[in-house]
Amino acid sequence: MPSTRSERVRTASRQRREHERQEVRQTILDAAVALFVEQGYAGFSLRQVAERIGYSATTIYLYFSDKDDLIFTLADEGFRRFGARLTEAAAGTADPLGRIFALGRAYVAFGIEEPIYYQLMFMQRGDFLLSCRAGEERPRVDTLGILQQAFAEAIDAGYLQPGAAPADADALWALAHGIVALHIAIPTVGRERAEAAATVGFQALIDGLRAGRE
């Protein structure tokens, strides 16, 4: 049965309000990212976000319950982008060892190209790694499960000596994180230097795992 004109008007009005709400929400998030770039995590406040976009602080609370909620939302976007990069890297090669290298390179590239998200995810608010939203069961750290899967597949295929894939994945994670942290914290560690260090580190890890385990 076709809807009446009044129903269509109400539907269009609801859709318009929802669109406007999403636009304001995105404006808040964009302003928050800009403030992180300018002032870092320590100097960040919801009041500054409100001032940046010309709204009252009360308006911010219509969209986010508190500072942590807003920051977690930003970090969540980072995890989404990070997970997409790792998934794409893993799918880009059928070679088990090549997949491990690709994942490591994708990790480092993300940290270099998305330093604000990376710092929120892994440096400023590491507690978010163990967090999940209401109704969800998997914490954000599960994004790194793709690393464990890659090592398990390489072990099963005989490319690496038998061992514990989770520990292998943690070793790769530690290498990649250390390199990204150096790049973010130390101006002289530019992208080229960071990526060169990653290549050496990943190769050394793989060579050690191929040679055997004590």
Kindly list the structural domains of the chain, giving each domain's residue range(s) and its CATH number in brackets, ordered by start: 1-64 (1.10.10.60), 67-211 (1.10.357.10)
pTM more than 0.75:
yes
Helix (H) or strand (E) holding 193: helix 191-211
**pLDDT greater than 90 at residue 133:** no
Mean pLDDT score, 60-80: 90
**pLDDT greater than 90 at residue 40:** no
Q: Read off the pLDDT band of 3 (50, 70, 90).
A: low
Distance CA 62, CA 131 (A): 22
Query: What are the tens digits of pLDDT across the range 167-198?
Result: 999 999 999 999 999 999 999 999 999 999 99
Q: What is the pLDDT of residue 43?
A: 78
Q: Are 141 and 131 in contact (CB under 8 A)?
A: no
Q: What is the pLDDT of residue 214?
A: 47
Distance CA 23, CA 160 (A): 49
CA 80 to chain centre: 6
Residues contacting residue 139 through CB under 8 Å, at least 6 positions apart: 129, 130, 131, 132
Instruction: Provide the CB-side half-sphere exposure for 198 (13 A, CA).
Output: 30
Single-letter residue type at 69: D
Query: What are the tens digits of pLDDT across the range 17-36?
Result: 666 778 888 899 989 888 88
Note the residue count of the chain.
Answer: 214
